Amino acid sequence: MAVAPAGVAFGSVSGERIENVSRRGKYAVMRLSSGRSLVTSLRMTGRLVVAGPGTVDFPGTHVVLHFTDGSRLGFADVRTFGRMRLVEPGEPWDQGLGIEPLSSGFTQDAFLSMLSGRTTPIKVFLLDQRRIAGIGNIYACEALWEALIKPSRPAQALNKPAVRRLHHAVVDVLGRAIDMRGTSVDDYVDADGLRGGFQNALSVYGRLGEPCVRCGKPVLRTVLAQRGTWWCKNCQR
Ligand SMILES: [Zn+2]
């Protein structure tokens, strides 16, 4: 369906069709019929929700795309950290982003060579969108727990078996989270306005003081690069 004249924001996308929706790193990419793209980052509390005619927008809605069938797509963000940008065809908006962890290029060997010579704590490395694009704080904590790796270990100090375990864990955690339609520890909802399910499958994130589901020792919380980091001192080395 086409985008009807909106009159509010993004008036210049009137008449466009959304041809395709994809993801790059933490960005949702809506490719328009003109070849331009609407690129959205939800950040902490952003929501992209499709609503039927006659329904009320979410609080904090900043952008509304009206479609010819009366439905609309709202971009809401109460804390306003999120961003929506109209990108011209060929504009290299994602050139600062690293490899996609679910792409065929993200192999164990590629991961191993990315880590070599890096003294950064492995968790900080995982969160660096310029290296690997799309791993957030929740998934970094979960993957390191699954791989039995201490979050503060220097990236270059991981031996081959540890890199193999972490590679597997990153792909596994992201895959399971996608299957469960994301993690709603906070406000996150999908395009249908539904909460995800992965918050019910978290092993370590946000579980300070609770017994580690693997060994029973209490989960710790430290801070690495200003981000809360949950981990098990007994399991993760
Ligand atoms: Zn443990």
Model confidence over 84-131: pLDDT tens digits?
Answer: 999 999 999 999 999 999 999 999 999 999 999 999 999 999 999 999
Contact 76, 49 (CB under 8 A): yes
Residue 214 CA, ligand 1 centroid: distance in Å: 5
**Band of residue 37 on the pLDDT scale cut at 50, 70, 90:** very high
Q: Give 163-187 pLDDT, tens digit per residue.
A: 999 999 999 999 999 999 888 887 7
pLDDT of residue 11: 55
pLDDT of residue 142: 98
Residue 205 CA, ligand 1 centroid: distance in Å: 13
CA–CA distance from 213 to each of 27, 112, 230 (Å)? 32, 28, 13
pTM of the model: 0.89
Tokens of 177: 């989270």
Q: Taking 90 as the threshold, does the pLDDT of residue 202 lie above it?
A: yes
Residue 148 CA, ligand 1 centroid: distance in Å: 9
pLDDT of residue 189: 83
Find the mean pLDDT for residues 41-53: 86
Question: From start to end of the chain, where are the E strands?
Answer: 18-24, 27-32, 37-41, 46-51, 61-66, 72-77, 83-87, 220-224, 227-231
Q: For residues 33 and 55, which has the higher predicted lDDT (pLDDT)?
A: 33
Token pair 């980091």: residue: 229
Q: With pLDDT > 90 as the criterion, what percentage of the chain qualifies?
A: 73
Q: For residues 190 and 28, which has the higher predicted lDDT (pLDDT)?
A: 28
> Which spans in the chain are helix H?
108-115, 122-127, 137-146, 160-179
pLDDT of residue 194: 85
The closest alpha carbon to 11, from 82, 86, 90, 72, belongs to 86
User: Amino acid identity of 39?
Assistant: V
Contact 236, 212 (CB under 8 A): no
**Band of residue 10 on the pLDDT scale cut at 50, 70, 90:** low
Ligand 1 ion: Cβ-proximal residues, 5 Å cutoff? 212, 214-215, 232, 234-235
**Band of residue 3 on the pLDDT scale cut at 50, 70, 90:** low
pLDDT of residue 95: 94
Residue 146 CA, ligand 1 centroid: distance in Å: 10
What mean pLDDT value characterizes the chain?
91
User: How many other CB atoms are found less than 10 A from the CB of residue 222?
Assistant: 13
> What is the CA 102 to chain-centroid distance, rounded?
12
Residue 207 CA, ligand 1 centroid: distance in Å: 12
